[in-house]
Structure 1
Amino acid sequence: MDYTNLGRTGLSVSRLCLGTMNFGPQTEEGDSFAIMDRALEHGINFYDTANVYGWKVGEGVTEQIIGRWFAQGGGRRDRVVLATKVYGRMGDWPNEQGLSARHIIRSCEDSLRRLQTDWIDLFQMHHVSRTTPWEEIWQAMETLVAQGKVLYVGSSNFAGWHLAAAQESAARRHFLGLVSEQSIYNLLTRHVELEVLPAARHYGLGLIPWSPLHGGLLGGAIRKMAEGGAARAKSGRSADALAANRTTIEAYEKLCADLGQDPADVALGWLLSRPGVTAPIIGPRTVAQLDASLGALAVRLTDETLARLDELFPPVGQGGPGPEAWAW
């Protein structure tokens, strides 16, 4: 396994991050335990979850599964860099969502209880709050850090200017502030290259891409459908996205075949080659899917292949960061 620092911190994390969103709804507890154990065997030490995962309001189903896995002992908790999130609705009352100091503190305490741990390595804001002042947010986070309940703070789904506002406010308080941003980023969705990624790199934040395979479309969806698989690509938004991009996906799968590489490995390998990217989040539903993901670490894309990928999946505007992407 390859490791890198999380943003500008001294914390070492694996180049692949284990996403746990399927634990509970898609993957039963025993299989979830097996996936997490196998991840450690592979050297994956970066695990990502959220208080809302499991999609039963207020229950934190996925966090509870991880907590029971930790409770087995064997050094599991000590070997894992654990990331969870706060923001989503955890109850029916007004203050059971968002980024108020009250909700941040309460959510942290609840997550610690469900996860059966004394600390959260990376406490991420799942979305930006447009109604809570940064002074309030940072006061709450500083309290949790001072208590040793949170070690680092991250964001998710922030715009570039939100990162700037957050960091400038933290700097005025002489606080470390954000160390990471978790954004959707893949060959089909490259908007973060305009401002989010440049802002993250400027402030020393590691970028953690979610949905690196764009709902499975970049994982060989057409080939798998022909073989009777790729259930996710047959309905809903994935089916619509495949219909809109079928010609491109067909050309992409042909390119991967010519390279002798699995499409999922190429998509993950492309992200791993991007400056500023810390670790794409993989979301295996089975141990076999987890094992297969490791192939991405060996992918080395030539300049010619990278150029061809840009032709198939053009960056936004003229490419690169703004304002050059849309102006001279």
Structure 2
Amino acid sequence: MAPATWTKLKNAVWVVIRAVLLIGLVFVVLYPILVKIVTMIKDKADIYNPVVVWIPENFTFSNIKIVYEIMNYWPTLLNTFTLSTVMMILQLVSCALAGYGFAKWQSKWAKLLFAGVIATILVPPQTIMVPLYLTFQNFDFFGSYQWITGGDGLNLLNTYWPFILTALTGNALKSGLYIYIFRQFFLNMPKDLEEAAFVDGAGMLKTFTHIIIPSAIPSIITVSLFSFVWQWNDTFFTGNFLSGVKVLSNELVALPANVNNYLLFSVPGASLETATSIDPFYASMLVDTGLMLSILPLIILYLFVQRYFVESVERTGIVG
């Protein structure tokens, strides 16, 4: 076989192998979403129909309507969007400042403190949930509240204050990772930019806001998207701190119970005596529909920002 023909054959085989691998990876990622989309429009009668796999025989939007009412969708969506946006902004400010400090602060304590930041990435949040919960249940700033009022500390649970305070102090969800991203980016920025600003008479704060931050757009985009999406999908902290507030991710935690209650008291003929007759497969179908409705805004967001996200991750990886 001629060398040119052999080269073309190897290239063709590689193209086929690469296409099969990519198609397989895409299918693995999209399969759960495709299943939930089919479930959303599937009628209850199709659950036990062995013929129905991907294409329902009886199309319906009743699942979406039921879950929409159970979740109180639009008010709950607004609460979740507000919380995720506020947390994203606060984490950007605190983590950028902390990352810049670790990148430029030369001290024997810097490495030790940064090791603490890395520890927050490695240690699961479940290990510190109990002290955090007790702290915000009786929040007392250095004993000042008890000294002034003589009573117990403030109960900040079921408010947004636990999230705001942890975000401002760089201790919120995944804040350690965001500090690490900013630090690695700032470490590789040319020192000439800062020195030129200092020569021109700019102080540390002005240099940071006018020189450093505009140059860190890739890191800002990466951290913004990570922070927004992870806060949106969080069920652990919202389930503990906001147990009495309607947040979309928190509502999903109790969604199976809410679905069962809805079926029990809203379906015609349902009563306490028929509670055991609730179809668990139908309840599971409604839960899948609710999950799809909860991630739908993120899918729409990704369609608009995917190009900027990929570019920011690439540039962050090259610089960091």
Q: Name the TM tier (shorter chain).
A: under 0.3
Q: TM-score, normalised by structure 2?
A: 0.21
The structure whose residues are more often strand, as a share, is: 1
The structure whose residues are more often helix, as a share, is: 2
Q: TM-score, normalised by structure 1?
A: 0.21
Rg bigger for which structure? 2
Q: Which has the higher contact order (CA 8 A, sep 6+)?
A: 2
